[in-house]
Structure 1
Amino acid sequence: MSSSGKVIVVGAGIVGLATAWHLQEHGFEVSVLDRDGVAAGSSWGNAGWLAPAKTIPLSEPGLWTYGPKELFNPVSPMHMPLRVDPKLWLFLAQFMAQAFQRKWDSTMADLTEIDKVALEAFDELSIGGVEGLTHEGPFVIGFEEERQSAGFRKEIDGVSRHGQKVEMSRLENPQELAPMLNEQIQVAYRLEGQRFIEPGPYVQSLADAVVKRGGVIRAGAEVVHVAKGDRPAVILADGSREEADKVVVATGAWLPGLTREYGVKTLVQAGRGYSFSVATDIPAKHSVYLPHHRMACTPYEGRFRIAGTMEFRGPDEPFQQGRVDAIVSQAKKVMRGIDFNDRQDEWVGSRPVTPDGRPLIGQTKAENIYVAGGHGMWGVVLGPATGKYLAELMATGNTNPIIKPFDPLR
């Protein structure tokens, strides 16, 4: 493995760390800088789903039916505060402009190829020494009545139509696999071929692998500017400057502040998700999805993590307790054997959402400055594949067709 120079990766979430790991595969010396630390953002508290069958465009035609009513309802799963905020309103306008079947299909076609290789990319990390585990499905998809399932089944049909093989069957007794669901869940499906991780421990294992192979990871290193040049540099909040041969910006919802001047004009809006964990009378073994209530649930370190909501706010705005209370209110309707007063790990994370549902992966207008972000809810499942193909581009100059639709200069 010959040396190919030094790279600074800004951002220690799964996308930044996977990129660092693959850059090491190409012989680069890597330093990863993060304001807070490993998995401190949306890589920590999410549902940990490795579910290519659900890695789909967020903006879909149904938004025109339920979106206007839900968006400004403070307890709805999708929420935007009613305020004077031109950037937020511009994002909403562009997001809604994508909510047509033709545009959904276009984005889905572009996501399909990276969806197909997403799980293989996790296997590659495992073979390469990353000790974090991925857990096999099935996923349990539950509804209170048949009509609630129509939208979900349409999404799965759309995913299949674009070339993914999706195996799903009716589950006659949902409590057999998901004993925390109560009798209100009358309709259920078993979704095969998906996996999940425990996000915090998994991302830490990826960080450990990067360090074990000679990489440096620094917490408390807040990058406030990236300067172009033959040797680009990052400027830190303390005024210090560090140069490298190449820089990768993988800062999630904070990405625009470091990349806009280099031609990355696509809006990136924080779509904040909330989660917490609870104990269940019978230990959880499988991921559970309740589409009607927009709750994604996963076994997590002996407990059951319940995640939900899409809240369009600024990435650094305070935690909104009302969002967790709304999830609890909905969960109580369809779950049993849970003491919801014993909540742990209450969390909010800012997922980086683009209006067109496509990530931003590739080179900026500055020759040696690259970007990896904008995955929305799918940063975990697409992180390793993103890192693989971005590192390939940086090492060889060749853009793999899989990431070509995600050009950050589009």
Structure 2
Amino acid sequence: MGAGIVGLATAWQLQRDGFDVTVIDAHRPGQGASFGNGAQLSYAYVQPLADPSIWAQLPKLLLSRESPFSLRLRLDPAQWAWGLRFLAACRAEVSARSTGTLLALAEESREVLQQLLADTQAHCDFTTSGKLVMYGSEASFAAARHQLDLQRALGGAEQHALSLADCLRVEPALAGSAARYVGGIHTPGECAADCARLCDALHGALQARGVRFVLGAPLGALRREGDRLVAVQAGNDWIEADGFVAALGTGVTAFARRLGVSLPVYPLKGYSLTLDAPVGSGLAPNVSVTDAQRKLVFARLGQRLRVAGLAELAGHDTRIETRRVEQLRRAAREVFPLACAGTETRPWAGLRPATPTGVPIVGRVGGAPANVLFNAGHGALGFTLAAGSARRLSRQLQGVAERPRTAAALIRSAARPAENSA
């Protein structure tokens, strides 16, 4: 259930492992948060949003019009509960555990995605040009070096703290905004790709291999027998199965409630623009760049440049606010002034399904039917973690299962060691 990148990667893994698979979605594949995301595959730099540094930044994050974060309070108990759990997770020990869990899952995802790309021969502007995370103050750069040391101790990939001069040698297109930065973290092995194009390619490849797609059909009634879900209604069809995987993005919480389970997943709305990249050396970046202060990413996709970021805690509202789009445009002009004269595609906004700790829910959850597994809550790392989550979920269905965790345990615990993070 769900045909975003998480659901499609899961369908690919399950079909590859010998399961007969049906994919259900109310829309076409890749039309949700997968469509216009930041395009970065951040295998080595997975610092969760819930971090102790949030406390010092909180006044500016909430009050500045140029803040990368906005909160629109609603009469929604789920919003308030998620926010309180997020703040409770902004502790050093929780962030460290989450980082370790996410690094392990990300490294597994790197391996599985390589297999997926080789298997499907998908054309999705995949590149391994590396990534620079740029910092605008000595304090933030020092905190980033501390995070680098933590990730190195946890077995993270090759990373280097670079001076501003070295950053400009790695990515000359930053020359026009060099005065804004003091240094950066360079990860040579990071990747980028067009997630929407990969979803299209997976859809075609899976159909050719006999995977059934039931699209344009929202989930209707559920049929249960004892401790098992036996069928779900999709449009006018009833889909029976031995097992069900809920990869429904931000819709997973409503589905879980119908099963009597509460999941700590809430939408974080993000925005993106896609520009035609100008031809010429040093005009548009070839390396993926993250502006840490603005919390914006810039990813090269063939002859296009994806600009993405921001986070709004505003419920399930997908409206595109002009003020936020202009904020992206200004940032793009400031960071890469020579790259922003090209044609721009329609602005996009999507909802990232996030847990308070940033650790996704992968597998069985106590209280839900025994044959229902969840693959949700990946936040801004959905593209990065999709392939590894798919493998872990398939292992559970094959019997390499772990003890089910209750929703309460998921809230209390940021993470466990790699194979116990579901």
Q: TM-score, normalised by structure 1?
A: 0.89
CA offsets 1:321-376 (integer angstroms, 9 cap, x no match) = 22111222333333211336843131111111111221111124302211111011
Alignment of 1:269-284 (within 5 A): 269-281=266-278, 282-284=283-285
CA displacement at 1:399 relative to structure 2: 3.8
Output the CA distance in 2 between the equivalents of 1:233 and 1:91: 31
SS of equivalent residue, structure 1 residue 166: coil
Are the aligned partners of 2:48 and 2:358 in contact in 1 as well (CA < 8 Å)? yes
The aligned counterpart of 2:210 is: 214
Q: 1:143 aligns with which of 117, 135, 155?
A: 135
CA displacement at 1:50 relative to structure 2: 1.4
Identity across matched positions, percent: 26
Any stretches of 5+ residues in structure 2 without a counterpart?
404-416
Output the CA distance in 2 between the equivalents of 1:141 and 1:68: 23
* Distance change (3 Å), C-alpha of 1:279 and 1:148: farther
1:160 aligns with 2:158: no
The aligned counterpart of 1:187 is: 182
The aligned counterpart of 1:405 is: 421
Are the aligned partners of 1:273 and 1:310 in contact in 2 as well (CA < 8 Å)? yes
The aligned counterpart of 1:252 is: 249
CA displacement at 1:80 relative to structure 2: 0.9
Are the aligned partners of 2:359 and 2:378 in contact in 1 as well (CA < 8 Å)? yes
SS of equivalent residue, structure 1 residue 349: strand
CA offsets 1:141-176 (integer angstroms, 9 cap, x no match) = 333454442333232222223221332142525445
Are the aligned partners of 1:328 and 1:340 in contact in 2 as well (CA < 8 Å)? no
* Distance change (3 Å), C-alpha of 1:397 and 1:267: same
* Distance change (3 Å), C-alpha of 1:234 and 1:288: same
CA displacement at 1:204 relative to structure 2: 1.6
1:170 aligns with 2:162: yes
SS of equivalent residue, structure 2 residue 306: strand
* Distance change (3 Å), C-alpha of 1:65 and 1:225: farther
Output the CA distance in 1 between the equivalents of 2:350 and 2:65: 18
The aligned counterpart of 1:232 is: 230
1:131 aligns with 2:112: no
Which sits farther off after the overlay, 154-163 or 335-344?
335-344
The aligned counterpart of 2:414 is: none
1:65 aligns with 2:56: yes
The aligned counterpart of 1:107 is: 98
Q: Which amino acid aligns with 2:40?
A: W
Question: RMSD of the TM alignment (CA)?
Answer: 2.4
* Distance change (3 Å), C-alpha of 1:151 and 1:325: farther
CA offsets 1:69-109 (integer angstroms, 9 cap, x no match) = 31354541011114433321211111000101011122223
The aligned counterpart of 2:319 is: 318
Q: Which amino acid aligns with 1:232?
A: V
Output the CA distance in 1 between the equivalents of 2:48 and 2:135: 21
* Distance change (3 Å), C-alpha of 1:29 and 1:394: same
* Distance change (3 Å), C-alpha of 1:196 and 1:264: farther
CA displacement at 1:232 relative to structure 2: 1.7
The aligned counterpart of 1:46 is: 37
Q: TM-score, normalised by structure 2?
A: 0.86
* Distance change (3 Å), C-alpha of 1:174 and 1:405: closer
Which sits farther off after the overlay, 24-33 or 69-78?
69-78
Are the aligned partners of 2:272 and 2:347 in contact in 1 as well (CA < 8 Å)? yes
The aligned counterpart of 2:18 is: 27
Are the aligned partners of 2:229 and 2:372 in contact in 1 as well (CA < 8 Å)? no
Which sits farther off after the overlay, 397-406 or 161-170?
397-406
Output the CA distance in 1 between the equivalents of 2:194 and 2:96: 31
Output the CA distance in 2 between the equivalents of 1:224 and 1:321: 35
SS of equivalent residue, structure 1 residue 361: strand
Which sits farther off after the overlay, 129-138 or 310-319?
129-138
Q: 1:90 aligns with which of 78, 81, 85?
A: 81
* Distance change (3 Å), C-alpha of 1:283 and 1:335: closer
The aligned counterpart of 1:7 is: none
* Distance change (3 Å), C-alpha of 1:341 and 1:24: closer
Q: Which amino acid aligns with 2:207?
A: V
Are the aligned partners of 2:284 and 2:336 in contact in 1 as well (CA < 8 Å)? no
CA displacement at 1:295 relative to structure 2: 0.9
Are the aligned partners of 1:224 and 1:258 in contact in 2 as well (CA < 8 Å)? no
Q: Which amino acid aligns with 2:247?
A: A
Are the aligned partners of 2:6 and 2:386 in contact in 1 as well (CA < 8 Å)? yes
Q: Which amino acid aligns with 2:270?
A: G
Output the CA distance in 2 between the equivalents of 1:366 and 1:156: 41
SS of equivalent residue, structure 1 residue 164: coil
Any stretches of 5+ residues in structure 1 without a counterpart?
1-9
The aligned counterpart of 1:385 is: 388
The aligned counterpart of 2:309 is: 308
The aligned counterpart of 1:204 is: 200
Output the CA distance in 2 between the equivalents of 1:60 and 1:201: 32
Output the CA distance in 2 between the equivalents of 1:324 and 1:154: 33
CA offsets 1:260-313 (integer angstroms, 9 cap, x no match) = 344542321101110001234435422111111111110124111110101112
Q: Which amino acid aligns with 1:234?
A: V
